[in-house]
């Protein structure tokens, strides 16, 4: 995607800088009041800037108040299959909101990518994604093949009588984010891969089984269970850590009243 990173203040410029380090091809736009140390093309009014660049990029990431982004794109929308993906990040870097063109335009994926880079919580309201409430946490040895991961995931889901269609996210620890097998497995299953920071796992407030091997090998108390628990809201474990050859899988459910699903069918 051709991405624009836009912010109005110094706090936002710090986040834009983080994003740009991971997305070097992205273009940065910073308000003229932002300190000179932050790089980016300067602008005076975000509404005028958006008018100028709206159709030049595949994705717009505003590190700004949600209202500022809404006012900026108002009147410029054409069609969900034509408009760019729009994501809004608060200047505290807490949430990455898929605001526009979520499914068709790629904003859901962009929000997840932004979240993985800065350690934010992705906020996705598209019905097809939000109605799913199952998260699969994964740990694996280095260079584990995607075939083995997909087989392990499907077997673990079968153990709790769940279909892959109920899964919203795969999740793993930051230390495993560059494993090609994990990313390929997610692509094959058509699922986003959420990255949970090592700090979050180390400070996870929820109960999970600690894994001596994880502590020994990656200096974390565990991977699969805390990743599954931390990747969603109001989570509880349906399947505790289950071991396969070089792989651990745990399954968590988001316990939201409106997300009742018939999980007895496969």
Give, for all 266 residues of the chain, the pLDDT tens digit: 899 999 999 999 999 999 999 999 999 999 999 999 999 999 999 999 999 999 999 999 999 999 999 999 998 888 777 899 999 999 999 999 999 987 777 899 999 999 999 999 999 887 777 888 999 999 999 999 999 999 999 999 999 999 889 999 999 999 998 999 999 999 999 999 999 998 898 888 888 888 877 777 788 888 999 999 999 989 999 999 999 999 999 999 998 765 554 444 33
The residue assigned the tokens 């068709």 is: 104
**CATH number, span 3-128:** 3.40.50.11220
Strand duo 247-254 + 235-244: pairing: antiparallel
Predicted local confidence at residue 259, as pLDDT: 54
CATH class held by domain 131-259: alpha beta
pTM of the model: 0.84
Strand, coil or helix: 115: helix
The pLDDT score that the predictor gives to residue 81 is: 77
Cβ-contact 27, 57 below 8 angstroms: yes
**pLDDT, position 210:** 81
The structural domains of the chain, with segments of one domain joined by +, span 3-128, 131-259
Cα dihedral across residues 225, 226, 231, 232: positive or negative = positive
- C-alpha torsion sign, points 214, 218, 220, 222: negative
Q: What is the pLDDT of residue 144?
A: 95
Cα(101)–Cα(124) distance, rounded to whole angstroms? 11
């Amino acid at each position: 995607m051709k991405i624009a990173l836009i912010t109005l203040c110094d706090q936002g410029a710090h986040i834009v800088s983080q994003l740009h380090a991971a997305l070097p091809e992205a273009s940065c736009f910073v308000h003229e009041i932002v300190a000179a140390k932050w790089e980016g093309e300067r602008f005076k009014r975000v509404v005028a800037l958006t008018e100028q660049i709206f159709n030049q990029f595949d994705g717009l990431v505003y590190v700004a108040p949600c209202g500022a982004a809404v006012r900026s794109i108002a009147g410029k929308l054409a069609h969900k299959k034509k408009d760019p993906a729009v994501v809004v990040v608060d200047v505290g870097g807490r949430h990455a909101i898929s605001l526009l063109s979520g499914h068709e335009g790629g904003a859901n994926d962009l929000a997840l990518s932004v979240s993985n880079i800065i350690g934010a919580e992705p906020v996705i309201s598209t019905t097809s994604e939000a109605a799913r409430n199952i998260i699969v946490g994964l740990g694996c040895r280095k260079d584990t093949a995607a075939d083995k991961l997909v087989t392990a995931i499907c077997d673990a889901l079968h153990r709790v009588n769940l279909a892959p269609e109920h899964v919203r996210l795969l999740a793993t620890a930051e230390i495993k984010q560059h494993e090609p097998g994990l990313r390929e497995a997610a692509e094959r299953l058509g699922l986003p891969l959420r990255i949970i920071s090592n700090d979050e796992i180390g400070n996870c407030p929820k109960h999970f089984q600690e894994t001596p091997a994880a502590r020994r090998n990656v200096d974390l108390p565990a991977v699969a269970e805390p990743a599954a628990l931390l990747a969603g809201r109001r989570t509880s474990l349906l399947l505790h850590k289950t071991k396969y050859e070089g792989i651990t899988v745990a399954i968590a459910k988001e316990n939201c009243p409106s997300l009742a699903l018939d999980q007895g069918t496969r």
